[in-house]
Amino acid sequence: MELLQIEKRSGLTREEFIENYLKPSKPVVFTDLAKDWPAVQKWTFDWLRDTHGNLDVPLVDNHMHDADKYFQIAKTMKFGEYLSLIEKGPTDLRIFLFDIFKKAPELANDIRFPTIMDGFLKSYKFVFFGGEGSITSLHYDMDCSNVFLTQFQTRKHIVLFSPEESKKLYHHPFTVMSKVDPLNPDYDRFPALKEAVGHETILGHGETIFIPSLWWHHIKYVDGGFSLALRANNSVFTALQGGMNLVRHTFVDRGMTSLLGIKWQHWKERKAIENAKSTLVG
């Protein structure tokens, strides 16, 4: 497996971004897209704890992608307690895909929707928090939006793969998931992964990564920290595909899981292996 470094750019114009990154579906890290956001300076652990520490926040753990616990909440905790927890060190408890602005709408005043492209979905603003070493497993987003992920205070290690690499990643059919860990590759179990080409970066405070629609991403928290994801859609076709993904997950995958249980999981694994083998030469 080869991992290429994702380009970091400052001063990108809208025209340059659209021509060189959006249209060709190529990731990039903006070093300055969020430079005018009050949140970049304001949102520290101490400030969030002092001003919003009493909020109740939902937490997920490492079982969130298990077939029988898909996106189930593991527990709730006071926001301030959770911030202290992830500052201290590793934990598998994460705040995942959480719209904190519904509970604290004043926080929306601290961010700005970029003008780098059209189509931002202003009702979908999600935060992600995790402790050192926490992992967001390899997947692509079900709604197929372009994602602009801005990091605060600390660092994340992000690995991306284009949709063309899906078979080599052992994509489980009827899902948006893979069991591959690109930072600890198991080539005995996943031999086709050796041929995959991905892209990686360490995302630091105030930086924003553009994750194109349908791109796979695996995220590891280098330090306990947090980020904000904004979503944008530039194509009616990807929006329709997102709708189809939702139908497949809700009615096909979850329905078959309820009907067949572990047999359905085993079928998906076998099918992923078959598809991956088709990419191997010789």
Q: Using pLDDT thresholds of 50, 70 and 90, give the confidence band for residue 157.
A: very high
Mean pLDDT of the chain: 92
- Collapsing DSSP to helix, strand or coil, 162 comes out as coil
Higher pLDDT residue, 45 or 65?
45
- Collapsing DSSP to helix, strand or coil, 145 comes out as coil
Specify the pLDDT at position 140. Answer: 93
* CATH code of the domain containing 185: 2.60.120.650
Tell me which residue of 164, 139, 155 sits closest to 218, measured CA to CA. 139
Q: Write out the residue range of the structural domain in which residue 234 sits.
A: 2-277
Q: Do the domain assignments include residue 254?
A: yes
200 burial (CB, 10 Å; 0-12 / 13-18 / 19+) is middle
Place of tokens 């470094």: 5
Q: Do the domain assignments include residue 282?
A: no
Q: Do the domain assignments include residue 135?
A: yes
Number of domains in the chain: 1
Cα–Cα distance between 165 and 177 in angstroms, integer? 13
Q: Do the domain assignments include residue 232?
A: yes
List beta partners, residue 227: 128, 151
Residue 68 has pLDDT above 50, yes or no: no
Higher pLDDT residue, 254 or 275?
275
Lookup: tokens for 201: 């970066």
Q: Residue 278 corresponds to which amino acid?
A: S
Among 18-22, 67-71, 218-222, whose mean pLDDT is lowest? 67-71
